[in-house]
Amino acid sequence: MIQLKQSIDFIADWHRLSAETPEPVRRLAGEIVRQHTVALADIFYQNMLSDEQAKSFLDHELVNQRLHVSLQRWLQELFSGEQHDPQTIYEQQCHIGEVHARIQLPIGLVMRGGRLLKHAIHSYLVESSLERGDLVKAANFVAETIDLALDAMTDYFVIDMEKHARADEAYRMFALGQNMLAERERQRAAILEWAQQILLKLLADGSAAQLPDIKHSEFGMWLQHKAAIIFESAPELEQIRQRIDEVERSLFPKLIESRRNPGGAGALMKEVETGIAEIKFLLGGLFDRFIEVESGRDALTRLLNRRFLPAVLIREMALARRSAVPFSLLLLDLDRFKLINDTYGHGGGDMVLQQAADLVTSSVRAGDFVFRYGGEEMLVVLVEVGSDQALRVAETIREKFAADAFRVGDRQTAGVTVSIGIATYNGHPDYETMLKDADAALYEAKDAGRNRCVMSGR
């Protein structure tokens, strides 16, 4: 449905542009573009190949063989003197956007390329015999034609990237359904197997050429192909890669050299063992993060974690716009929580967090969302709730905290209060604005003495 509307809008804009631009001006502008397609392609790719980000997608051989010709063809078709069906033109741009998404070409590079082309074509138009009035019309015609094409590419690029994102998420959810504890042990065993192969090769002949590298081991292939998708941007991934690189590039050559001078072999072997132990430790952390975070729950409090907060807020904002029924946020911070940790230890602090999570969860409805937002912060999304009702819910929670005694150890209890910032959806399309409003209200509550609720904007 969205793509159909975009197609209709494109066709309407294409016809409008044709009607606004006299046919002789369109024909002359198109002829100037077609005359200079080779030079335009040269300018485009010379600039692109000077960009470090673009170099990872373009190389000189590929440009010369295929892309240079493709860009010329695109310009010639876009500014053809013949009256092409705009629906066909739209579908061609969509196909290009689909290709860009498939190769994951940054959309910023595409837009930059469009600006380069418009600037270069404008220079050729200025050098032409067009009078001032027609020159303005021709420049506008060229710029809008390229913008329309880029808009269509971008629309389909976004649609296709969303498809890829959904497929990646589905794969991660599939992986989550597997026995991750068994997979963790299997990969730890694969690391040890690789290390044993290294030692056996060193004992056998000590030749660097014969040492099996991690990339072609079972663990290395899993790390490169599956882990990169399942764990996405987890920091442990890069740390594991760096540690492997240190072991392979630094320690292994020294081990081989130590066979000629055995005195330092023992110390080097200990370094290798330490490196492999660190890789195993990082791998364990990687799986732990996956099991806890990807499941959507905070391991300590069992509240939702922040991973899914943007999806929840975007959906609630869309529902609020359609139904004209607001929703509200409560941002809670346990007062003087550091003092609890300092007095009763982190174990006592963890007990307080667990009890606080239970108290908040039991104080809201099944349809509301409760997230662990930070160390001692929780965020409640109160669905279909306006500001007055949100303030009443917040006050109820605050009073429960003040009245309860929280367990902090064996037969030990402590009093805990909470400060709450409240924000209600006001129509702003960016959910970060709403979070900032709640955060500002929370700080106002803490600055005013804690153990209180403050509504944003009041």
CATH topology for 2-174 is Globin-like (1.10.490)
Instruction: Supply angle C-alpha 137, 138, 141, rounded to 5.
Output: 85
Here the tokens at position 285 are: 């952390």
3-state DSSP assignment of residue 211 = coil
pLDDT (0 to 100) of residue 287: 79
Among residues 201, 212, 206, the alpha carbon closest in space to that of 256 is found at 206
**Residues in Cβ contact with 344 at an 8 Å cutoff, skipping those fewer than 6 apart:** 408, 409, 412, 414
Among residues 218, 126, 132, 231, the alpha carbon closest in space to that of 176 is found at 231
* Domain boundary assignment for the chain: 2-174, 180-294, 306-455
- What sign does the CA torsion over 259, 260, 265, 268 have? negative
Catalytic residue among 273, 376, 377, 395: 376
pLDDT (0 to 100) of residue 397: 97
> Could you give the angle at which helices 68-78 and 86-102 cross, rounded to 10 degrees?
160
DSSP 428: -
Q: Name the residue type at position 71.
A: L
Q: Pinpoint the alpha helices (H) of 264-336.
A: 265-289, 309-323
Give 10-residue mean pLDDT values along the chain (458 residues): 71 89 89 91 81 67 69 86 77 78 71 89 89 90 91 74 57 55 80 77 59 71 72 79 80 68 64 80 78 66 84 86 91 95 92 96 90 94 94 97 92 94 90 94 96 92
The domain over range 306-455 is classified in CATH as 3.30.70.270: yes
State how far the Cα of 316 lies from the Cα of 429, in Å rounded to an integer.
11
CB-based contact 445:452 (threshold 8 Å): yes
Contacts of residues 339-344 at CB distance under 8 Å and 24 or more positions apart, as own/partner, are 340/408, 340/414, 340/416, 343/408, 343/414, 344/408, 344/409, 344/412, 344/414
Is 292 catalytic? The answer is: no
φ and ψ at 424, to 5 degrees? -115, 140
pLDDT (0 to 100) of residue 2: 45
Tokens 């869309």, residue located: 318
Number of residues that make up the chain: 458
> Which pLDDT tens digit goes with each residue over 48-90?
777 776 766 666 665 566 777 888 888 888 888 665 688 888 8
Same-fold call for 2-174 versus 306-455: no
Here the tokens at position 300 are: 């300590």
Tally Cβ neighbours within 10 Å of residue 207: 11
CB-based contact 212:236 (threshold 8 Å): no
Contacts of residues 24-27 at CB distance under 8 Å and 24 or more positions apart, as own/partner, are 24/134, 25/130, 25/134, 25/137, 25/138, 25/141, 26/141, 27/81
Give the 3-state secondary structure percentages of the chain, helix then strand then coil, rounded to 5: 70, 10, 20
**Residues in Cβ contact with 382 at an 8 Å cutoff, skipping those fewer than 6 apart:** 327, 328, 329, 330, 364, 368, 389, 390, 393
Among residues 344, 357, 236, the alpha carbon closest in space to that of 299 is found at 357
State how far the Cα of 260 lies from the Cα of 274, in Å rounded to an integer.
23
C-alpha neighbours within 13 Å on the C-beta side of residue 255? 26
**Residues in Cβ contact with 213 at an 8 Å cutoff, skipping those fewer than 6 apart:** 220, 248
- CA-CA-CA-CA dihedral for 99, 100, 103, 107, to nearest 10: -170
